[in-house]
């Protein structure tokens, strides 16, 4: 039985990855983010694609103390022999609130242009998106931030770089128009966050919405290394996870809720 694949195959003296010779064409020649692009597009990125994707992944690599990094630290506390478990635990915290919104943004933007292929007016498409999501009770993904108000500093940086590198297209244009109309509707400035920016940028790079979150997960895996190392350097007694555990333990009050007898 054959199991065909174009991803990777090993021969006695050669390893091929997406058709490229691993030792001669990839090792020392491309970055880890380029490898991610290679997996998604089945080709090596151009210089500009490489710079743009690397910038997006660096932008979301580190978030500080979030559910993702705290989960990784706590898991390492309980299983220091399994670093992979700590990283995996951190990645499980990458959902719709943290990181996952960029996939929702990409789906929203890409689907909108598919439904209105001949529509050149981003303002009209943006208006339809806002009205439709409001009617269905859906939130607009890519907006808001607990700290960065009214501007997420990563957003203008990525949009500026996208323009410089030639990736400022109809998806970024639509996202900015949605932002303008959304702020006008709310009567105040709502943060267009980095998830919204990256969802638009990767869409203009031609990447399918379904794979967008994969780049976020890959970037987050790299960021979690620092959190695990910090736990190692602090030592088991002084690490953040142990202090957090001790705090919860010392402030836990058991309440015995006995079921009441039925009358």
Residue-by-residue DSSP string for 36-63? HHHHHHSSPPPHHHHHHHHHHHHHTT--
Q: What is the predicted pLDDT for the residue at 114?
A: 93
Phi, psi of 230 (to 5 degrees): -65, -35
Residuewise pLDDT in 10s, the chain (263 residues):
888 888 999 999 999 999 999 999 999 999 999 999 999 999 999 999 999 999 999 999 998 888 899 999 999 999 999 999 999 999 997 777 777 799 999 999 999 999 987 767 999 999 999 999 999 999 999 999 889 999 999 999 999 999 999 999 999 999 999 999 999 999 999 999 999 999 999 999 999 999 999 999 999 999 999 999 999 999 999 999 999 999 998 888 777 666 676 66
Under a CB-based contact definition with an 8 Å cutoff, are residues 198 and 60 in contact?
yes
Identify the pLDDT of residue 95.
Answer: 75
Structure tokens at 58: 């660096």
What is the CA angle 253-254-256, rounded to 5?
145
Taking each helix axis from N to C end, the angle separating 209-234 and 240-250, rounded to the nearest 10 degrees, works out to 80
186: CB partners within 8 A, 6+ apart: none
How many Cα atoms are found within 13 Å in the side-chain-facing hemisphere of 76?
A: 29
pLDDT at residue number 262: 66
- The single-letter DSSP state of residue 23 is I
Pairwise CA distance, residues 20 & 22, whole Å: 6
Residue 263 pLDDT: 60
CB 174 within 8 A of CB 122: yes
Write the CB contacts of 171 (distance below 8 Å, at least 6 apart in sequence).
Answer: 106, 109, 110, 113, 200, 201, 203, 204
* pLDDT at residue 146 in the model: 87
H, E, C per residue of 175-234: HHHHHHHHHHHHCCCCCECHHHHHHHHHHHCCCCHHHHHHHHHHHHHHHHHHHHHHHHHH
Q: What is the pLDDT of residue 4?
A: 86
Please give the structure tokens belonging to residue 71: 């989960």
Neighbours of 141 (CB within 10 A): 22
DSSP for residue 256: -
d(CA 2, CA 4): 6
Other beta carbons within 10 angstroms of residue 161's beta carbon come to 18
| 8 Å CB contact between 142 and 106 | no
Specify the pLDDT at position 187.
96
Residue of 228, 261, 263, 254 whose CA lies nearest to 77: 228
Q: Which residue has the tokens 């022999």?
A: 81
């Amino acid at each position: 039985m054959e199991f065909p694949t174009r991803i990777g195959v090993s021969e006695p003296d050669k390893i091929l990855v997406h058709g490229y010779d691993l030792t001669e064409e990839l090792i020392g020649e491309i970055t880890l983010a380029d490898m991610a692009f290679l997996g998604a597009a089945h080709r090596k990125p151009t210089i500009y694609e490489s710079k743009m994707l690397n910038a997006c992944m660096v932008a979301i690599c580190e978030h500080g103390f979030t559910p993702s990094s705290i989960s990784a630290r706590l898991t390492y506390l309980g299983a220091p022999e399994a670093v992979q478990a700590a990283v995996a635990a951190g990645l499980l915290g990458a959902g719709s609130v943290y990181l996952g919104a960029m996939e929702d943004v990409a789906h929203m933007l890409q689907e909108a242009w598919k439904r209105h292929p001949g529509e050149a007016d981003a303002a009209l498409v943006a208006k339809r998106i806002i009205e439709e999501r409001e009617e269905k009770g859906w939130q607009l993904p890519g907006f808001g931030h607990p700290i960065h108000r009214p501007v997420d500093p990563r957003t203008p940086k990525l949009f500026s770089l996208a323009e410089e590198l030639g990736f400022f297209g109809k998806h970024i244009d639509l996202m900015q128009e949605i932002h303008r109309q959304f702020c006008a509707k709310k009567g105040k400035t709502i943060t267009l966050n980095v998830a919204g920016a990256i969802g638009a940028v990767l869409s203009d790079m031609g990447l399918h919405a379904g794979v967008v979150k994969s780049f976020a997960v890959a970037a987050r895996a790299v960021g979690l290394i620092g959190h695990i190392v910090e736990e190692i350097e602090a030592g088991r007694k002084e690490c953040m996870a142990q202090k957090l555990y001790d705090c919860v333990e010392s402030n836990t009050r058991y309440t015995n809720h006995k079921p009441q007898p039925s009358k």
